[in-house]
Structure 1
Amino acid sequence: MPLAGARSTVLRMEELIRRQAGVFNRRQALEAGLNVNDLRRMRRRNEIARVHDGVYVDHTGPLTWLQRAWAAVLFSEPAALCGEAARRAADGPGRAGYDDGKPIDVMVDRHRNVVEPPGVRLHRAADIQRRVLWTASPPRERIEHAVVRLAADAPREVDAVAYLADAVQGRQTTAARLAAAIDGRERLARRRFLISVVDDIRLGTCSTLEHGYLTLVERPHGLPLAERQFRESLKGQLYRDAAYLGGLVVVELDGRPFHAKVRQRDRDMERDLDVFAAARATARLGWGQVFDRPCSTAVKIGRGLNERGWAGAVHPCPRCPSDVVRLIRGTW
């Protein structure tokens, strides 16, 4: 190969490797100017290593998650990350909680006959062109389609809510886009439930805990509809999860684990103290009050509202334990 051609090939391969986290496939290498013998020689010299048939990486050590993702997409091209893998790629390396050892979910056109390589889980779709962000690196399913897929397949409804609410709260998508993604799927488990969750997100329930408060505590027990993401200016612009009676009663939903940072909890306590100083009342609820004891929580919120001017009454829901039913009937 002439010197100028060799230099051009090196530059193209360097750019390819830089853009794809060190991973490339045989087609790309040949288009850059290498030949099959070049690839064999590079493998003998341990300059590259085989990941899948026809897919290589520029080292011989363990692969990062991003390299595994690129290898999965390049093996099945045209293909894109989907589901959990698409969400992982959208979140980037900084978000905790992912198992990077799981198979990489990849989506291909439903008419293609593609062999599933080790460590890859293939999914087939009819409308892959519309659902994929091809300019992403690597290409991935658009986040609204990815989280709808995950929500439909989630083992529990609370997990389904979390997928949808987290995507909107993290400003990765909008409730309108989620609704369009649901509407565009011909077959979808939990369709009616997912539509109802997205409708509630439009009302302002921005987290799993907020949605649980709305659907398990407030709505089924006849509490008044709270003003969600209530804005006040005691010390700068603050947003409360839910407010009643024009902000006289505030409900804060605290979904953090018990090991959350002390400084953050201290700031929240200071905010609650500010509310108290302004002659308001704050109820701070956690997972237990909302998901484990929603009925008794509704009774206590109702009593607090009655004390501050609400003329309504809490009523039992179909899930209320007998002791809570007796308490409601004896109080209202």
Structure 2
Amino acid sequence: MYPDVHWHSQGLSTGCGKNGWEGRFLSGRADTVPGMEHDSWQSILDAQDGVVTTAQLRAHGVSATALRHRVVSGQWLRVLPRVIAVTNGPLTRPMALSAAFLYGGRAILSHRTAAEEWGLLRVDDPSAPVHITVPYNCSAVNQGPTVRSPGSPRPTSVGNGLVHGGVVVHRSRAFEHISVPFRRPRTSLADTVIDLAVSEATPREAALRFIEAATSGKVHVEVLRRKLEVRRPHRYATDIADAVMLLGDGVQSALEHRYALDVERAHGLPSGKRQMPHVVDGRILYEDVDYSPMGVPLIVRLDGQQYHSAQQSRFRDRRRDNAAELADRPRLVYGWDETTRDPCGVFEEVRRVLVREGWADMSRRCPACPRE
């Protein structure tokens, strides 16, 4: 095992199945260099997606002069400090991730990059930097984007000028406890959710991101609670703890989170029961917010028909509507637009129905409410 390759040993031991082994990396020029035609060299290329360190090149007999020639002539690409791609590009996403690993040394994917690998976020910007976390005493530092030299002997399109989006380096004293083994190790699902939230610009955005990521990743609330007990966020701790409480109360989406905070809590409305079960046509269906425990049979639905395009979902919603009508239960339906753009208007409608149905009005206007 070569000293620079220790990070991928777990990936090699798991074989080439679900962990994403992409097959043999073939380079038409790698085997033209003495010492690089051996199986050990091909194994490194396969394991690291055709990206290697300068130390590995030296170990296989590539001199500094030979390396410089292949980079200057455009045969190979200098991706990051001490990291070379034995191709003239463009780099695939696996190659970009492997390059960040090799640059960081002992590193794991984290933050947005880990979230993309977990499926919490879409990979929608190939030029974005790769986020890694390293042990606290590691010397790796952030790296900006790498671009092709304007005088490259191999012409390229403008869109192909970017070699690598760069690396954002995070440090953690809990490094040993936040990593999970994959071919490319990454932060655990719960740690990734926390990191995403802490990275947001404001406490409000942090809480929303936390709810979105936790529900998207189906992370159990108790797992999040335990993780937060041993790894307290360095900021937004109160807002994240409040988000965990709302998750425990049954909030299951960012829309439900906004309703709970901006409609109910901001205006002094009672907190409805989340995910209240009701039997419809012999099946148990769940209502987003049910005020029956407060003595008012009002149901507030926060998923609206615009979010339910599938025929089965539309049929389910119609059956829930009919069942509520037959049971003489009033219902209101809100989507993302009205809940986020006009929470005060939503509050007023909910308040009117609650009062009409017998609730003793204890609501209040928030600072954003229009004055009479």
Deviations 1:209-263 (A, max 9, x none): 111111221234343332211223314342221112169432111389x798585
TM-superposed CA distance for 1:166, in Å, is: 2.2
CA contact (8 A) 2:206 2:236 kept: no
2:335 corresponding residue in structure 1: 286
- Give the alignment's TM-score, normalised by structure 2: 0.69
1:127 corresponding residue in structure 2: 174
Deviations 1:116-154 (A, max 9, x none): 444111122222111222x12311122322222221231
2:206 corresponding residue in structure 1: 160
Give the stretch that moved more between structures: 160-169 or 175-184.
175-184
**2:92 paired residue among 60, 64, 77:** 64
CA contact (8 A) 2:208 2:257 kept: no
Q: How does 1:1-332 map to 2 (within 5 A)?
A: 9-10=38-39, 16-25=44-53, 34-36=60-62, 49-57=77-85, 59-91=87-119, 96=122, 98-118=124-144, 119-133=166-180, 135-185=181-231, 188-235=234-281, 236-245=283-292, 248-254=297-303, 261=309, 266-267=314-315, 270-279=318-327, 280-308=329-357, 310-319=358-367, 321-323=369-371
2:26 corresponding residue in structure 1: none
Give distance in 1, aligned partners of 2:140 and 2:304: 42
Letter in 2 for 1:123: H
Give distance in 1, aligned partners of 2:86 and 2:218: 32
Give distance in 2, aligned partners of 1:268 and 1:157: 36
- Give the alignment's TM-score, normalised by structure 1: 0.77
Higher RCO, Cα 8 Å, sep 6+ = 2
SS at structure 2 position matched to 1:36 = coil
Alpha-carbon spacing, 1:184–1:255, altered in 2? closer, same or farther (3 Å): farther
Give distance in 1, aligned partners of 2:136 and 2:304: 40
Give distance in 2, aligned partners of 1:294 and 1:9: 66
Alpha-carbon spacing, 1:122–1:265, altered in 2? closer, same or farther (3 Å): same
TM-superposed CA distance for 1:82, in Å, is: 1.5
Deviations 1:71-99 (A, max 9, x none): 1012111011121111111118xx53642
Give distance in 2, aligned partners of 1:117 and 1:96: 23
SS at structure 1 position matched to 2:242 = helix
TM-superposed CA distance for 1:190, in Å, is: 1.4
2:17 corresponding residue in structure 1: none
Alpha-carbon spacing, 1:157–1:87, altered in 2? closer, same or farther (3 Å): same
Alpha-carbon spacing, 1:177–1:23, altered in 2? closer, same or farther (3 Å): farther
Give distance in 1, aligned partners of 2:122 and 2:51: 24
RMSD, aligned α-carbons: 3.7
CA contact (8 A) 1:221 1:314 kept: no
Alpha-carbon spacing, 1:106–1:129, altered in 2? closer, same or farther (3 Å): same
Letter in 1 for 2:88: T
CA contact (8 A) 1:84 1:105 kept: yes
1:329 corresponding residue in structure 2: none
TM-superposed CA distance for 1:322, in Å, is: 4.8
CA contact (8 A) 2:51 2:83 kept: yes
Letter in 2 for 1:244: Y
Deviations 1:296-331 (A, max 9, x none): 3223112223334x43214114425253xx5xxxxx
CA contact (8 A) 1:272 1:282 kept: no
Give distance in 1, aligned partners of 2:316 and 2:45: 47
Letter in 2 for 1:114: A
Which one has the bigger helix percentage? 1
Letter in 2 for 1:293: D
SS at structure 2 position matched to 1:233 = strand
Aligned residues: 311
Give distance in 1, aligned partners of 2:320 and 2:48: 48
Alpha-carbon spacing, 1:232–1:269, altered in 2? closer, same or farther (3 Å): closer
TM-superposed CA distance for 1:205, in Å, is: 0.8
Which consecutive unaligned segments of at least 5 residues does structure 1 have?
1-5, 327-332
Give the stretch that moved more between structures: 195-204 or 54-63.
54-63
Deviations 1:188-222 (A, max 9, x none): 11111111111111111111111111122123434
Give distance in 2, aligned partners of 1:15 and 1:267: 54
Which consecutive unaligned segments of at least 5 residues does structure 2 have?
1-34, 145-165
Give distance in 2, aligned partners of 1:42 and 1:252: 65
